[in-house]
Each structure stands twice: as C-alpha cells, then as structure tokens.
Structure 1
Amino acid sequence: MSTQTTGDARTDGTATTAGARAHARAQEAAGANSGAAMATLPASAWPSPPAGVGADRLVWAETVHGGGYTHLVVARGTSVRLTDLAGDACAHLLAYNADEPWERLNVADTVKIQWQAYLTAGCLLLSDQGRALATITEDSSGRHDSLFGTTTQTYNAARYGDGAAHCATPAGRELFTLAAAKHGLGRRDLPPSVSFFQGVTVDDDGAPRFLGSAGPGASVTIRAELPLVLLIANTAHPLDPRPEYSCGPIEFLAWRDSPTTPDDPQWTATPEARRAYANTAAYLTPKGIR
C-alpha cells in the first residue's frame, strides 16, 4: 500500500509507515531535551530516595523538565516531595479531591483563612469547602508564591513570542489544560495555582518584588490529607524579569505515608488548622475513612 500526500512533499521522513514509526520512537530519546516528564518504574528503582524513606515506600519518581508538566493521583496520607534540581525551576501546582474533583485548591482561602500569604512548612493547602487538601510538612526553599498564579498563552506570546503547550516557551495554563484533560477536567476547572521555588514578596506600598530562586537542591514536601489529583506545570514565573524563558528541572517523588491525626502537633498548631482538619475528618468519617 502506498501513502500519498497532498501539497508539499513530506521532508521529515514520516511519509511512510516505517518512517513514521522511526520518528515516533526517536521522540523517546529526545524526551530529556523536549520538556517531557520522565518517570522511573518501578519507583523503588529511583537512585536517591528521601532520607529515612525506604525505596519500597516510593510509589512515584520522575524528573519534570523545564517547560514540561505532569499529573498524578495519590492516596490520602501520601507524601510528595518536589526538588529544584538546578535552582531555576518553578513548580505551579493545582490539587483536586480525587473522589469529587469539583472540590479543589482555593488559593484565596488558603491565604485568607491562615492569615499568611507566604506559604512554608506548617501551612495547609485549603479547598473551596474549607477542608485541608494537603499540609506542607517540609520546606528548605522558603521562596514560593500564592498570589500571582501561572502564565497564560497570551502573556507568553507577548513576552517570548509563543505560549502554546508544545512550543519552546509554553504557558502554565496551557500545560495545566493538557494535564487536566487526563482526568476529565477542562479549562473551566483550572483555578488559580500556587507556585514553588520562585519567591515573590509584596512591599508596603503594595508593589510585588520578585525574589528569584533559593538555589539548587531546594525542596518542598506536602502530605495529602484527601485522595488527590495533582497537576504540576513547570514553567517560568510570570514575574520573572529575565528576557529569556528560563526554567530548570524538578525531581518529583511520592511515597506511602500517614495523614495528619489529632495527636499530631500540626493539628492544633492554630485554630484555623484545627478547623480545617476537623472539616476534613467530618467529610471522611461517614465514608468509613480515617
């Protein structure tokens, strides 16, 4: 059987089935340089598990390159650690209740209810139902942003010349759209996100000040308090003043752990935390989940 093309002849070698197959297989080898996420399965084969975490507890391990995205469903009690490998990553994060995904991260409530715009260890990620979706348990970076969200295609096109999902300078919202589609979610399901590893502060006059990265090796660990769908877009921060699109790789690890319980000091650290954890428990208890 012959393959015919219309218009200009194909010059990329994919005009035949054999050529298309060779081209497709070559994409795997090029993945490390194309922004693709690279997972290690089984996760226990990852060469550097977190300190104190046995390799047999790892359930996911991958590298997400700059301009890439990933998505994962995790069980309640799972710990997830993101590490900025080269000191230039920006991990934009969205979280959804995996059982009822209309419940999702609410950045405004996360900031307002906890009286804290600068997220770090001990802070919670709250849902639009007032429940604790996740707890930030460790943070060696201290440079995050809960105010300015991620980039859009229009913004990146004006700034870098393009912002489509598969270009060299993809926007965070376009990457989130791809990740969300894997879970039956669309653009209307994308709320404002939080971002890790590129710091922003607000001066007394209300003007934002970009702080940049904490440097290579900075990490943040969150613990899932509900079964979660996690979406991560690794793309340049919208306030990054550099004229070139800059974003380094992220190490993304997840392992079996335990959710926060009433005997954990974190539960009663603040009245706001206690209420959020209690709301989560009230939601789970009738389902027979502890």
Structure 2
Amino acid sequence: MTTTLQATVLDTVVQPGDGALIRVPSGGRLRIVDTHGNQAVDTLLYDADDVDNRYSAFDTIREQGAVYLTTGSRLLSTRLDELAVISDDTCGRHDTIGGACAQESNVIRYGEHVRHQHACRQTFLAYGAAAGIGQRQLGHNINFFMNVPVDSAGNLSFEDGVSAPGKYVEIVASRDILVLISNCPQLNNPCNGWNPTPVQLLGWWDA
C-alpha cells in the first residue's frame, strides 16, 4: 500500500442527491465509503484531458468477461484506454448496467407523480458543466454498492443492496482522470434501502 507515501488530499462527505467532480492524478487513489450501508453511488470516469474519452460499461464488461465489478476490474474508456483499476473492495460486487436515474425514466417506471423528484442525471450535468461535460458526454455509469441481479434470461432488477455501513471501494487512476459522482437520491426502488444516506470520499495522491 502507498498510503504512507501520499498525502490525504480529500476527505469530504457527499449528501444524498448531491455530487462531486474530482480530478485524480495518475497513481492517485480514491476511496468511496458507504457510511450507512445500501447507498448507490453513481459514478462516471473521464480522461482528464479529453472528456469525450469516457468510461464505457460495454467495453469494460466485454474485456473482463464479467457483468459485475470488483477488485482487479479494469475500468476502460470508449477507446479501450484504461482509466482506472479497482484496487480494493470490501463490498464484493458493483453494478455497471443499471444506469443512472433520470426524471424521464422515473416517470416511465414509477408514474407521473415522481416527475419533480431530483435524479442522478441532473447531478451529473450540474457538476460536470465545470469540465465541459454535457449530455453528449454522459454514458452508462458505474453504480457502486448497487445490487442489480441478472437472471439467466438476461433480465435485471433493482434489489436491496449487498453493502453495509463502512464498506468501501477504492480505485487507482491509470492516468489523470475526472471522477463525476452523484450520490443517488432514488426513493422509488430499494437501491438505497428506501432511505438515501451520505457517503464519504477519501483521496490520496501527491499534493
């Protein structure tokens, strides 16, 4: 571990429905801590020098031959560049096919009465704007700590999480990257245990 060789440069709490945009230099480590358990953390990765070179769930799944992400998973871009690697994971598996909630999809899934509810897509656009990340740069995201079982027929469902208080996932940047996070506010399915809660972000890299 390189904790003793790098400074702790990030220690912050992200409330449910809020987000963050973090630049992590090559070799830097970012840890996401599920402080209360069963909280989905929607996450997108970008090449810090070219936000059109962004995380690709399709390529990541195909190249590793597995639907879920965990320790050792290489997080690949649309150009097959390695953006980061999951270096530590106390949860066990993470989703990258369920997508991010949006007001439009909420209405389709749960009814017109939820249209006013805040959604991850809004958070992505609000925080991503500072780096030139707009709708064109949004793609399929990682849902850290989210439980999306896939059956033998390829059907998926949103279920109670497999995380617990204090569980965490850590990534190491393979190049300078931007990490765009939405701490999911979803209230209409069990991905957040029906009660969205804060998460902690910790980062170690040369100051």
Normalized per residue, the structure richer in helix is: 1
* Structure 2 CA distance for partners of 1:244 and 1:91, relative to 1, 3 Å: closer
- Choose the corresponding residue for 2:149, options 201, 209, 212: 201
Q: Which of these residues, 26, 50, 60, is aligned with residue 110 of structure 1? A: 60
Pairing partner for 1:150 from 80, 100, 110 = 100
Query: Does the 8 A contact of 1:79 with 1:256 survive in 2?
Result: yes
Q: Which moved more, 1:237-246 or 1:141-150?
A: 237-246
Residue 154 (structure 1) shift: 1.7
Unaligned stretches of 5+ residues in structure 1: 1-50, 258-290
Larger Rg: 1
Counterpart AA for 1:142: G
Q: Is 1:66–2:16 an aligned residue pair?
A: yes
Instruction: For residue 232 of structure 1, give the secondary structure of its aligned residue in structure 2.
Output: strand
RMSD of equivalent CA atoms: 2.6
Report how far residue 53 of structure 1 moved. Answer: 2.9
CA distance in 2, matches of 1:238, 1:226: 35
Higher strand share: 2
> What percentage of aligned pairs have identical amino acids?
31
Question: Unaligned 5+ residue runs, structure 2?
Answer: none
**Which whole-Å CA distance do the structure 1 matches of 2:31 and 2:176 have between them?**
16
Q: Which has the higher contact order (CA 8 A, sep 6+)?
A: 2
The letter for the 1-side match of 2:154 is G
Q: CA deviation at 1:54?
A: 4.5
Normalised TM-score (structure 1): 0.64
**Equivalent of residue 185 in structure 1, options 133, 137, 141:** 133
Q: What is the aligned counterpart of 2:43 among 77, 93, 98?
A: 93
Instruction: Report the equivalent of 1:252.
Output: 201
**Shift of residue 185 of structure 1?**
1.8
Task: Give the ranges of 4+ consecutive aligned residues of structure 1 lying more than 2 Å apart after TM superposition.
Answer: 51-56, 155-164, 236-246
- 2: distance between equivalents of 1:197 and 1:174? 20
Aligned residue number for residue 48 of structure 1: none
Cα pair distance change 1:140/1:250, threshold 3 Å: same
Q: Shift of residue 236 of structure 1?
A: 4.5
Q: CA deviation at 1:79?
A: 0.3
